[in-house]
A and B are shown apart, each in its own frame.
Chain A
Amino acid sequence: MPNEQSTASPEEAVVHVDTVSAAQASPDVAQPYRELGLKDDEYTRIREILGRRPTEAELAMYSVMWSEHCSYKSSKVHLSYFGKTTTDEMKSKMLAGIGENAGVVDIGDGWAVTFKVESHNHPSYVEPYQGAATGVGGIVRDILAMGARPVAVMDQLRFGPADAADTRRVLPGIVSGVGGYGNCLGLPNIGGEVVFDESYAGNPLVNAACIGVLRSEDMYTAHASGAGNKVILYGSRTGLDGIGGVSVLASDTFSGDGSAGAGSNARRKLPSVQVGDPFAEKVLIECTLEVFAADLVVGIQDLGGAGLSCATSELASAGDGGMHVWLDKVPLRATGMSPAEILSSESQERMCAVVTPDKVEAFLEVCRKWEVEADVIGEVTDTGRLVITFHDEVVVDVPPRTVAHEGPVYSRPVERPASQDVLEANTPDSLERPSTPEELRETILRMIASPNLCSRAWVTDQYDRYVRGNTVLAQPADSGVVRVSDDSNLGVSMATDCNGRYTALDPYHGAQLALAEAYRNVVTGGAAPTAVTNCLNFGSPEDPAVMWQFSEAVKGLADGCAQLGIPVTGGNVSFYNQTGTTAILPTPVVGVLGVIDDVRRRTIVGVGQEAGETLILLGETLDEFGGSEWANVVHNHLGGRPPAVNLDTERVLGEILIAGSRDGMISAAHDLSEGGLAQAVVEMCLTGETGARIVLPADLDPFVALFSESTARVVVAVPRSEELRFTEMCQARQFPMTRIGVVIPEEPVLDIQDVATLSLDELRTAWEGTLPALFA
């Protein structure tokens, strides 16, 4: 390689520039492609595409864009099944789907909603606070890039055992990172998940979801059209943080300048986890919404994983196919950054817009108002090439589609492991069950205090759920609901769910169980499910057993969505979630978006709103304990079959709950999931600060009645005056229904007849005490 380095002084950081002409002149230079995560045949293909060796900058671009994270190279062949199972009818309300920054759905009255979940697992293990914070920042920019105002966030967090030492390191940092960033952005956090399981000990999961609202005619997409249009980079400066976040760059060998001096090497050791600045993102949001409102933008893209490499190649390949970028015009926060570093930097709070020349000044004026730095860094061309120059030297000259969309695709080996049979055969049937009233009482208290069932308030109280004033339901509700605007009663609802234990027992049905629960949570709040997103967290795709779990989960989810008639509008895949060779529980987090035409009729969880309420259990209870929380808490057992899933039944249940809400027949409702009926009733009483008297069905074993995790079940509180009308509606639909008790406002107790009488104080102490005791 040319040795310009010899002319630079040691104090001044050396900018090492490998140009296209240098690449042509030195075809045989050894390049560190393996350290950058590329396989031999992938590197060979890049050479074939270019007809020469790539420059360092090109190599950096291809390596990050062809990484698993950006290219979906192992998952693509499976994900295509979502497209095959989505009918035209399901697509009828979709304005944008898979492949865009986020899916967009028409919700009526001229409003549209965009929503997405994304993972930030690995950075959050390395640096919990910043990893989680920038996870929120990244998903919010995805939503913003669709032309929407972000209106709410949710987070799905999974940790090792609650009492493990490392969980105490990771959890408080992640929670305060989610809160610290989201609170400062002014986005209400309306729900999410906190789950503990040993499999996440060395690999916690941090998924972040965001919902955005827009007028349906105002949607933007990431494309660069119109030769002569300008490319504007705005937001924070580009620095050395987060370089190689997605491709695990080996920084020392990366620039090939080990001789550049000690100072230079130290500089290159900056953390590969990005550092977030939520205030910068807040002004970036307002600035971006103002340029949208003034119609100053042709296309837009956020800068996330793979930074400018991704933004420029995606914008160019989605537009007219050509772009020229002057890399020396990118504002930097470090001196002496090489073109490869500038292209790979994952510095946060940046966006890239394509603007017609006549609107550039107006665009820059809005940026000045919000004190956001903005510079024209490029131009759209009709050459079909993405050409990037650095001080007039060409450092990148590539067909952009080969970077952004035509990466490698693998059909990895898929094999159901023999251990699956062993797992299934190990049923929970022989586990010792509580039978006496004393044992059942003790089990209730033990279960509600267990880490996966106890109150999440210690976590959620660190998140602002009120900001913007449109939050209608938030944690501990089954789903979060926000009003789309002050002058409308239209609302959007979202719930995300996944039980990795069920998915481990049966990935196909486990994914459907996640879908069923998220669907049920949305209808329990009174909203109509409309669209689905996902965040598929799995182990290594190079393990055939993991790929089997993955392919089964995708099939299960896609088939389930087709059965329910709601489309998957987008998703995210996170592989390599494992410690050594042990993968996490397969965790396909499913998010269901719902629409509620009038937020004033949303259904709350707490009982006691009406003078007299009857409690009715909807659905059928079977003896189902495979993968249950009871088996986990009491016996540390995982085996057998997960509860049966019946999506047609879920759909009828949904119709009942929505109709009940619309016609004022339901005053509260809560879905049954982990922990079963006992958990649901305790939460309804504690949330409503009101007691209840329960009479368990005579034909069921009390233990099964209280703790089974059979699906398609909800407890509703029905005002006494509506009881007849409600039960007639259920009978008309032939839906199983059991009157299980009444609310007793005069007595602060949960009285389960012939089993136990528990004071609300006693229940509250058990339910609320666990997380503060572990983490406060």
Chain B
Amino acid sequence: MTDASNSQASNGQAPNSDTNLTGARIGVITFPGTLDDVDAARAVRYAGAEAVALWHADDDLQGVDAVVVPGGFSYGDYLRAGAISARTTVMGAVVEAAKGGLPVLGICNGFQVLTESGLLPGALMRNEHLRFICRDQWLRVENNTTVWTTRYEPGAEILVPLKNAEGRYVADASVIDELEAEGRVIFRYVGAEGDHNPNGSLGDIAGISSADGRIVGLMPHPEHAIDALTGPTDDGLGIFLSVIDSLLKV
């Protein structure tokens, strides 16, 4: 059951709550400064699963089948983005569950939280040009074998919003080499030469995965691209459909 008391006060119109056709239950975490939890929950519902609100102070993941750590400014990001969130009660539970194979998706600030939690390698630094940037961004899906990307064709190019101030992916050369060698660079920035990389990320990396492909983090926002009315495309929906597919196969 969705714990409505933990959802943000008045986003609670509970739209499309009849769409849980698959029986899948996907948790969406809310830290005090999380912003895109409403969007992530909507994407989960659009894809046909139940969105379960998880509050940062709770250690009970309510038996969800997967977790999304959404974007925002979890604790204001006055320290390193995601640093405080990584040490919250709920993230302790997520890290523990992830060891047992729970699929986890971190979007934007959520990606930062996953690197700060040690679930994914590397770090997200301030954008090269030092400004917040919001734009529609082309990505290439480099690996469609993770639980979050099976719905995409190999090498598919998708257009989703990107919006962040600290989105420049960095890691030691050895880590980058390892990620590339193991096919763990999942999303790469593509587009017009010279303008395709929005923030100076190493290797044009937009998103990576854990070794087993069950934990994925990316800076761009697939949850904002689920309907061409409110986003540039519906290209982002595939991520949520993919994980639901994987849950149904289990």
Q: Which residues of chain A have a CB within 8 Å of any CB of chain B?
A: 149, 176, 179-180, 183-186, 277-280, 282-283, 286-287, 289-290, 292-293, 370-371, 460-472, 483, 485-487, 599-600, 776
Contact = CB atoms under 8 A, between A and B. Distances in A.
B224 A466 contact: yes
Contacts, number: 107
Contacts of A278: 73, 76
Question: Of A185, A279, A483, which is in contact with the most chain B CB atoms at under 10 Å from its CB?
Answer: A279
Contact of B9 (A179, A286, A469): A286
Contacts of B135: 461
A102 B132 CA distance: 30
Contacts of B72: 186
Interface in B105-128: none
B39 interface: yes
A184 B73 contact: yes
Nearest to B35: A186
11 contacts: A176-B131, A183-B165, A184-B77, A279-B76, A280-B76, A463-B134, A466-B163, A466-B221, A483-B230, A486-B13, A776-B129
A529 B147 CA distance: 47
A176 B8 CA distance: 27
B22 interface: no
Interface string B69-80: 000110111100
A700 B165 CA distance: 49
B10 interface: yes
B176 interface: no
B231 A466 contact: yes
A776 B130 CA distance: 10
B32 A461 contact: no
A467 B35 contact: yes
Contact of A600 (B73, B133, B224, B229): B229
Nearest to B160: A466
Nearest to A471: B230
Nearest to B39: A469
B224 to A, nearest CB: 4
B223 interface: yes
Q: Which 8 residue pairs are nearest across A and B when measured between Cβ atoms? A: A279-B76, A186-B35, A487-B15, A486-B15, A290-B9, A289-B9, A469-B39, A466-B224
Contacts of A179: 132
A176 B131 CA distance: 8
B12, B165, B223, B230 interface centre (most CB from chain A within 10 Å)? B230
Main secondary structure of the interface of B (DSSP, over half): loop
A461 B38 contact: no
B9 A470 contact: no
Given A293-B9, A600-B229, A776-B129, A469 B38 contact: yes
A279 B230 contact: no
Nearest to B45: A486
B36 A282 contact: no
B161 interface: yes
Contacts of B129: 776
Contacts of B76: 184, 277-280, 282
A632 B42 CA distance: 48
A98 B12 CA distance: 30
Interface in B36-55: 36, 38-39, 42
Contacts of A471: 230
Contacts of A467: 35-36, 39, 163
Nearest to B130: A176
A462 B135 CA distance: 9
Given A180-B132, A278-B76, A485-B15, A466 B33 contact: no
Q: Name the residue in B9, B14, B221 with the highest tally of chain A Cβ atoms < 10 Å from its Cβ.
A: B9
Interface in B58-101: 72-73, 75-78
A68 B39 CA distance: 42
A155 to B, nearest CB: 14
A286 B38 CA distance: 13
B16 interface: yes
**Looking at B72, B133, B134, which has the most chain A CB atoms within 10 Å of its CB?**
B134
A281 B229 CA distance: 29
A332 B116 CA distance: 34
Contacts of A599: 229
Interface string B218-233: 0001011000011100
Q: Which of B32, B72, B223 has the most CB of A within 10 A?
A: B32
A463 B10 CA distance: 24
Given A464-B132, A472-B230, 8 more contacts: A179-B132, A180-B132, A183-B73, A279-B32, A290-B10, A293-B10, A467-B163, A486-B16
Among B35, B42, B221, max chain A CB count under 10 A is at B35
A487 B42 CA distance: 11
A186 B223 CA distance: 15
Nearest to A602: B229
Which residue, A280, A463, A466, has most C-beta atoms of chain B within 10 A? A466
Contacts of A465: 134
A371 B39 CA distance: 24
A414 to B, nearest CB: 45
Contact of A469 (B16, B165, B230): B230
A177 to B, nearest CB: 11
A364 to B, nearest CB: 16
Contacts of B36: 186, 467
Contact of A464 (B12, B14, B163, B231): B163
Interface in B158-194: 161, 163, 165
B67 to A, nearest CB: 19
B132 A279 contact: no
Contacts of A371: 32
A460 B11 CA distance: 26
A486 B42 contact: yes
Contacts of A289: 8-10
Nearest to A215: B10
Contacts of B133: 461-462
Given A180-B132, A466-B134, A467-B39, A286 B229 contact: no
Contacts of B75: 279
B13 A487 contact: yes
A639 B16 CA distance: 57
A470 B10 contact: no
A630 to B, nearest CB: 31
B184 to A, nearest CB: 27
Contacts of B42: 469, 486
Interface string B1-42: 000000011111111100000000000000011011011001
Nearest to B10: A289
A333 B229 CA distance: 46
B8 A286 contact: yes
B134 A462 contact: yes
Contacts of B9: 286-287, 289-290, 292-293
A449 B72 CA distance: 35
B10 A176 contact: no
A471 B230 CA distance: 5
Nearest to B38: A468
A471 to B, nearest CB: 6
A462 B198 CA distance: 12
A113 B243 CA distance: 38
A180 B126 CA distance: 14
A470 B15 CA distance: 13
